[in-house]
Amino acid sequence: MLFLFVMEYRNKVKTCLTFVKAHIKKQTITYQQLADRLEVSLLTIKRQLNANEISMSKLLALCDAAGINFTEVWQQVEDRKVQHTVFTVEQDLAFYKSPHLLHYFFELFCEKKSPEYIQTKWQLSPASTHIYLRKLEQLLLLKLSTQGIPTFLISEPIGFGHGSLNIMKEIQKALVDVSEKLISERDDEPFVIVKPLILTEELRHKMYEEIKELVSRYAELSERYFSELPHPVGQLVICDYKLEQQEESVCNIINVVGFD
């Protein structure tokens, strides 16, 4: 689940920042000292250390300037048990029926944009903004103050769970897209493996776990180092399903007078 993975990655980076700030305080390193070591302004250091998000390159630079072993910090974050917030069936259904509501929520919650910013960006009417916020409040995702200021009732990382209609829709779109890419003329050659497998249920699920671990590792590399670089975006689709028991679909050999 890309949405869930991105949220988990961002949460890890924010936790790293928390560790960095704790180390700085413990070692009595001032913000000005960090700014001098990185040759940036004091305001830049304050903004980076208190930001909701920070790029991996800047985080690494902060660790170096503070004398922190980044590998050890990241491992501490990896070892923490992350509790995911999963959308309820009602929330999932609402987002499935109204994709624009999901987009609004994503900008509001994930991108940390204000209702006013979203309203201006998408040229929404004040009434539409009110309807979006009230709907998210009805779904118990946020609470509005008397002034209409939202307070979120959930925390990161968050995403869709097993059996989500939205996940099923994304999978369907991906499979259709893959089918079209495979049969159309292309400059590049897609990587495809189609392999019938006869496995026990235990081995099948073990394979699933190993595939998920491998894909997550590369997805994290993508998020860490390449998301802001001009590399082409690839679409990875992995699908395994049980074939119905049926006779082998071997085509009969027939008389022919030629081939096109």
CA distance 31 to 18: 15
Using the predicted structure, report yes or no on whether residue 97 has a pLDDT greater than 70.
yes
Q: Which amino acid is at 208?
A: Y
Using the predicted structure, report yes or no on whether residue 135 has a pLDDT greater than 90.
yes
Using the predicted structure, report yes or no on whether residue 248 has a pLDDT greater than 80.
no
CA distance 66 to 73: 12
Q: Where are the domains of the chain?
A: 2-79
Question: What residues contact 90, with CB distance under 8 A and at least 6 apart?
Answer: 139
Backbone angles phi, psi at 64, to 5 degrees: -60, -45
- Per-residue pLDDT tens over the stretch 137-191: 999 999 999 988 999 998 877 888 888 999 899 888 888 888 888 887 777 777 8
Q: Which amino acid is at 203?
A: L
Neighbour count for residue 85 (Cβ, 10 Å): 16
CA distance 81 to 8: 11
Of the two residues 254 and 107, the one the predictor is more confident about is 107
* Closest among 87, 82, 80 to 154, alpha carbons compared: 87
Using the predicted structure, report yes or no on whether residue 5 has a pLDDT greater than 60.
no
Query: For residue 190, is the peptide bond before it cis, meaning its omega torsion is within 30 degrees of 0?
Result: no
CATH number of 2-79: 1.10.260.40
Using the predicted structure, report yes or no on whether residue 6 has a pLDDT greater than 60.
no
Query: pLDDT band at 96, cuts 50/70/90?
Result: very high
Structure tokens at 94: 């609402």
Cα-based angle 207, 209, 213 (whole degrees, multiple of 5): 115
Looking up tokens 């929520």 gives: 105
SS3 content of the chain, % helix, strand, coil (to 5): 55, 5, 40
